[in-house]
Amino acid sequence: MSASLDTLVKEALATGRIAGLPEGHFIDGRFRPSQSGARMESFDPGRGTAFASFAAGAAADIDAAVEAGRRALTGRWRDMKPAERGRILQRAAALIGENADRLAVVESLDSGKKLAEAQGDVRGAARAFEYYAGACDKLQGDSMPLGRDHFGMTVHEPVGVTAHIIPWNYPISTAARGLAPALAAGCAVVAKPAEQTPLSALLLADLLREAGLPDGVCNVVTGTGREAGAPLVAHAGIDQITFTGSVATGIGVMQAAAPNVTQLVLELGGKSPVIVFADCQVEAALDGVMEAIYENAGQICSAGSRLVIEESLKEHFLAHLAERVNGLSLGHGLTNPGMGPVNSAAQLAKIEGMVAAAGARGARLHAGGARAEGAELGQGWFYQPTIIEPSASSDAIVQEEVFGPVLTVQSFASEEEALALANGTSYGLVAGIYTADFGRAHRLARDIDAGQIYINEYFAGGVEMPFGGNRLSGYGREKGLDGVKNYTRVKSIAARISR
Ligand code: ADP
Ligand code: MG
């Protein structure tokens, strides 16, 4: 750990606070309070106590941010050469790197996640800006063969002002994967981070200003979904919405967007299988399953929350898995434990309720299954890493997203059965496959209804790979060059050129 990181961590752990955090919304190039003056508190999940306060925005603040975005669209930003846009994004990537220690400590304290994971998220955010910086001057159109008398071409123009509704599980990552391609495309943005984790988006906006982004191009309004999110997605001045969150809220956002016919990308929940065949490399599969469900305490839309295992390997695999799970230490995120807390008291209660209800329906626990308590955990929001074998695949614990460190177990005897189990929920976000059989891996990759398939390494890939869901997991793709397409629209220009 670098000296500066060590100092920041020690200070945050000793005082429960971080000095000099932004306090206002970031609108039109500077921090400003809510028009109502209202404020809210953000909590440190590792202690269950408030550690920072922030502006509680409402419709009037959203109006100001959208107006700033609309003004910015027609100013210096529109006239800037794409290559110069790219240089600004490149500088932003460098600044994220220079400020990585502070960003990671803030992200860890605000979300509860382990410091090492927060550091990974910050590196990923810098990488997103680096990746999309290179796209700015390559968003070229086509020319169409219309014959000698006509000329046809397409141009890719920015969609306008884009809204980004950000969840609490990956605050800086989700902000970066939406903002970087939107800015690369030449859009102006208004982001609304989750009320549980408002801080890193504000810090990011300020770094973008420092990188040279003109005022008004990037705006961040903090506050609740109901008070700040709802007026943003219903705003007539918004041209596109990227929403990451729960299915129920996503459906509400679609409805709110409908009267303005605003286009959307929805990245919603998941109940993703990790399919493990007996011929796999067992150690790699154990590593993969551990990461798939206990990283970020399972609060990942693409978590591998269902182990789907070949019967002949089941007993051996579960014994080793339970041993690893029981060895996971719990603690405050800043102390880099095996697993950190969950993000909120509400989330903890939800996890507790779902597991208890499954138990009452006859599910069998292989590990965990309760809230974690102990002097060293204080009032923090901790849940034990859990493995649970349901009474049936139709059980709610298999069908519904828990969004916590809870792995369900299902087993199969044939490839066909594995496929049926993999596709046996209403979600279609991710599937992991562990097998040494190349043909089988690719047959399943072909037939599984999911936006992404990970073969022999869960979470393989990076910003280069498009990401998104099918069915209840949403639609549209972020990341990769497909991710920029959300923020551009095609204009066709056809001309008669014959005399
Ligand atoms: P959770 O229930 O786990 O908090 P949500 O999907 O409700 O997940 O939250 C994801 C994001 O959506 C957060 O930034 C939240 O503030 C925002 N949000 C919640 N309700 C609305 C809404 N009605 N309109 C727009 N955004 C909302
Ligand atoms: Mg918080």
- Structure confidence by residue, pLDDT tens digits, 164-217: 999 999 999 999 999 999 999 999 999 999 999 999 999 999 999 999 999 999
404 Cβ closer than 6 Å to some ligand 1 atom: no
Q: Report the pLDDT averaged over residues 126-144.
A: 98
Rounded distance between C-alpha atoms, residue 436 and residue 277, angstroms: 8
pLDDT category, 386, cuts 50, 70, 90?
Answer: very high
Closest alpha carbon to 421 in 393, 453, 402? 393
Q: Does the pLDDT value for residue 42 go beyond 80?
A: yes
Span from the CA of 391 to the centroid of ligand 1 (angstroms): 32
Residue 89: per-residue pLDDT: 98
Q: Does the pLDDT value for residue 20 go beyond 80?
A: yes
471, β-bridge pairs: 427
Q: Does the pLDDT value for residue 110 go beyond 90?
A: yes
Residue 3: per-residue pLDDT: 78
Neighbours of 145 (CB within 10 A): 8
Residue with tokens 């109502």: 36
- Structure confidence by residue, pLDDT tens digits, 440-473: 999 999 999 999 999 999 999 999 999 999 999 9
Strands 406-412, 49-55: pairing kind: unpaired
Ligand 1 site-directed mutation target among 40, 61, 165, most atoms within 8 Å of CB: 165
* Chain CA centroid to CA 453, Å: 17
* Backbone dihedral angles phi then psi of residue 388, each to the nearest 5 degrees: -135, 135
pLDDT category, 75, cuts 50, 70, 90?
Answer: confident
pLDDT category, 2, cuts 50, 70, 90?
Answer: confident
Q: Which ligand is nearest to the CA of 341?
A: 2
CA torsion sign for 445, 449, 454, 458 is: negative
CA torsion sign for 198, 372, 308, 319 is: positive
What residue's CA is closest to ligand 1, atom 26?
A: 229
Residue 132 contacts residue 464 (beta carbons within 8 Å):
no
> Which residues have a catalytic role annotated?
267, 301
Residue 131: per-residue pLDDT: 98
Span(s) in the chain for CATH 3.40.605.10: 3-268+477-490
Q: Which long-range contacts (CB under 8 A, 24 or more apart) does 423-427 make?
A: 423/447, 423/448, 423/449, 424/393, 425/271, 425/306, 425/398, 425/399, 426/271, 426/399, 426/471, 426/472, 427/269, 427/270, 427/271, 427/272, 427/401, 427/469, 427/471, 427/472, 427/473
Residue with tokens 């551009």: 488
249 Cβ closer than 6 Å to some ligand 1 atom: yes
Q: Which ligand is nearest to the CA of 223?
A: 1
Q: Does the pLDDT value for residue 492 go beyond 80?
A: yes
Q: Report the pLDDT averaged over residues 398-427.
A: 98
Q: Does the pLDDT value for residue 86 go beyond 80?
A: yes
331 Cβ closer than 6 Å to some ligand 1 atom: no
Residue 26: per-residue pLDDT: 98
Distances (CA, A) of 432 to 269, 271, 456: 16, 11, 7
Rounded distance between C-alpha atoms, residue 403 and residue 28, angstroms: 35
Residues 6+ positions from 227 with CB-CB distance below 8 Å: 56, 57, 58, 59
Rounded distance between C-alpha atoms, residue 205 and residue 209, angstroms: 6
What residue's CA is closest to ligand 1, atom 1?
A: 246
Q: Does the pLDDT value for residue 1 go beyond 80?
A: no
Q: Report the pLDDT averaged over residues 50-78.
A: 97
Cα 450–178–24 angle (5° rounding)? 135
Closest alpha carbon to 467 in 222, 207, 178? 178
pLDDT category, 329, cuts 50, 70, 90?
Answer: very high
451 Cβ closer than 6 Å to some ligand 1 atom: no
Percent of residues, the chain, with pLDDT higher than 90: 98
Span(s) in the chain for CATH 3.40.309.10: 273-462
Paired tokens of 333: 């995120």
Q: Which ligand is nearest to the CA of 111?
A: 2
231 Cβ closer than 6 Å to some ligand 1 atom: no
pLDDT higher for 1 or 115? 115
Span from the CA of 380 to the centroid of ligand 2 (angstroms): 12
Note the CATH architecture for domain 3-268+477-490. Answer: 3-Layer(aba) Sandwich (3.40)
User: What's at 309, amino acid-wise?
Assistant: I
What residue's CA is closest to ligand 1, atom 14?
A: 194
Q: Report the pLDDT averaged over residues 358-368.
A: 98
Determine the atom of ligand 1 nearest the C-alpha atom of 192: 14
Residue 360: per-residue pLDDT: 97
Helix (H) or strand (E) holding 10: helix 3-15
Give the class (CATH, top level) of 273-462: alpha beta
Across the chain, mean pLDDT equals 97
Residue 251: per-residue pLDDT: 98
Span from the CA of 295 to the centroid of ligand 2 (angstroms): 18
